[in-house]
């Protein structure tokens, strides 16, 4: 029949002492008995008691040595040990505590003292176990709540991205694809998970500033007027203003602000140069161009991924960061599988020629040639 009674291991080379302790504590506990250290270890290989009453003065291996071995073994170091001894010198008591014992019971035994000390430490053990269980429950609750908050956070970010994208059906999904491209580059560069996450969020929100741009400008197939182009160039600043007061754990607003900056200073809105541009923004710039080239736009069909690879390769070190481009190119096979080229590749010479002739139009929405526009 199963019992919930705690188990005590009594380790003493004197049978009389063992009988006394068992007689004092009977009724409330179960017992294991060992007459020396070796027998104690044999018992512990098969059983785990709640408490050990350990004699100090034993032949071959004294109680201090047994305690030292138990406390150095992860299987047994959480078992509480009370020394039982006739030694009353304070130096022996101190030595026992240093070894990891929780208490002392002196011989000859006093029944009330033995019961009180054992009962006290059994109660403490129960409280510890209860606290540990409560901590496990709390940790699980925190983990669940954190997961819920993370889910809400992701849903909010995706909702913000969708809010901007629904205004322009031609670029629906653009921010999600840029985010994935950028994360792939960051992973290829060996960036830590936390930084990759900051790039993921930035990618999802990098064009949120376009919410202030008239839809007619975003998907117009014709040439943009200079004033219209200047308006579109404001979208990184608008995005920065929308995001700057949100307490992200990463510089999301700054990454969004800088995603159209270029290494040679020809980007916008501030014309920053290489050293002043965040690495995350440099990655975003490459990802943005890759997605823009390989996706359909109102002024041209999607171009093959090879066109995107050639473009960033040609502009490496001038418009785009060399390390970022090299990392992307080294993982291009993987990325081309995720974003396959158009099934029937088109001849894009005429389109590229038109883009060269109309840089103000195409550098705004499709950031391929904006190096030719000095801002």
Q: Is the pLDDT of residue 225 over 50?
A: yes
Contact between residue 171 and residue 165 where contact means Cβ atoms under 8 Å apart: yes
Lookup: tokens for 39 = 């027998």
Smallest CA-to-CA distance from 185 within 337, 290, 340, 316 is with 290
Q: Is the pLDDT of residue 158 over 70?
A: yes
Q: Is the pLDDT of residue 109 over 60?
A: yes
Average pLDDT over residues 350-355: 47
pLDDT at 129: 84
Whether 166-372 and 7-135 are alike in CATH topology: the answer is: no
The radius of gyration of the chain's CA atoms, rounded to the nearest angstrom, is 36
pLDDT at 369: 33
pLDDT at 166: 64
Average pLDDT over residues 51-75: 90
Q: Is the pLDDT of residue 174 over 70?
A: yes
Model pLDDT for residues 317-330, shown as the tens digit of each residue: 899 999 999 988 88
Smallest CA-to-CA distance from 174 within 336, 326, 290 is with 290
Average pLDDT over residues 228-249: 89
Which of 196-200, 250-254, 277-281, 370-374 is least confident?
Answer: 370-374
pLDDT at 44: 93
Instruction: Provide the b/e sequence for 163-181 (b: ≥16 CB within 10 Å).
Output: ebbebbebbeebbbbbbbb
Q: Is the pLDDT of residue 335 over 60?
A: no
- When the pLDDT of each residue in the chain is averaged and rounded to a whole number, the result is 81
pLDDT at 350: 47
pLDDT at 366: 42
Burial of 375 (C-beta count, 10 Å sphere; 0-12/13-18/19+): middle
pLDDT at 171: 59
Model pLDDT for residues 273-294, shown as the tens digit of each residue: 989 999 999 999 999 988 887 7
Above pLDDT 70, what percent of the chain?
Answer: 82
For the chain, the domains span: 7-135, 166-372
pLDDT bucket at 169, cuts 50 / 70 / 90: low
Q: Is 53 in a helix, a strand, or coil?
A: strand
Class of domain 7-135: alpha beta
Give me the architecture of the 166-372 domain, per CATH. Orthogonal Bundle (1.10)
pLDDT at 301: 65
Q: Is the pLDDT of residue 235 over 60?
A: yes
Q: Is the pLDDT of residue 228 over 70?
A: yes
Q: Is the pLDDT of residue 347 over 50?
A: no
Q: Is the pLDDT of residue 108 over 70?
A: yes
């Amino acid at each position: 029949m199963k019992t919930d009674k705690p188990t005590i291991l009594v380790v003493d080379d004197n049978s009389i002492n063992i009988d006394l302790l068992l007689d004092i504590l009977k009724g409330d506990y179960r017992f294991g008995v060992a007459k020396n250290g070796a027998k104690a270890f044999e018992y512990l290989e098969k059983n785990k008691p709640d408490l050990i009453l350990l004699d100090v003065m034993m032949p071959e291996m004294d109680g201090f040595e047994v305690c030292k071995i138990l406390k150095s073994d992860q299987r047994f170091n959480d078992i509480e040990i009370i020394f039982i001894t006739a030694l009353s010198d304070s130096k022996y008591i101190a030595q026992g505590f240093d070894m990891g014992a929780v208490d002392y019971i002196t011989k000859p035994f006093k029944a009330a003292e033995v019961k009180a000390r054992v009962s006290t430490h059994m109660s403490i053990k129960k409280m510890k176990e209860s606290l540990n269980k409560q901590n496990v429950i709390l940790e699980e609750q925190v983990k669940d709540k954190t997961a819920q908050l993370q889910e809400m956070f992701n849903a909010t970010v995706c909702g913000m991205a969708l809010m901007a994208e629904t205004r322009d059906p031609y670029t629906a999904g653009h921010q999600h694809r840029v985010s994935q491209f950028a994360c792939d580059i960051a992973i290829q560069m060996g960036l830590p998970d936390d930084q990759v996450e900051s790039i993921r969020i930035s990618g999802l929100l990098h064009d949120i500033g376009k919410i202030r741009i008239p839809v007619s400008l975003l998907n117009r197939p014709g040439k943009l007027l200079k004033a219209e182009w200047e308006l579109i160039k404001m979208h990184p600043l608008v995005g920065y203003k929308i995001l700057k007061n949100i307490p992200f754990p990463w510089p999301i607003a700054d990454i969004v602000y800088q995603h159209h900056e270029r290494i040679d200073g020809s980007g916008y809105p501030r014309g920053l140069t290489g050293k002043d541009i965040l690495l995350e923004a440099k990655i975003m710039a490459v990802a943005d161009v890759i997605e823009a080239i390989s996706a359909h736009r109102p002024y041209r069909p999607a171009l093959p991924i090879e066109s995107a690879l050639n473009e960033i390769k040609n502009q490496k070190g001038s418009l785009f960061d060399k390390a970022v481009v090299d990392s992307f190119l080294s993982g291009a096979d993987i990325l081309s599988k995720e974003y396959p080229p158009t099934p029937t590749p088109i001849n894009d010479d005429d389109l590229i020629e038109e883009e060269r002739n109309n840089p103000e139009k195409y550098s705004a929405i499709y950031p391929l040639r904006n190096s030719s526009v000095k801002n």
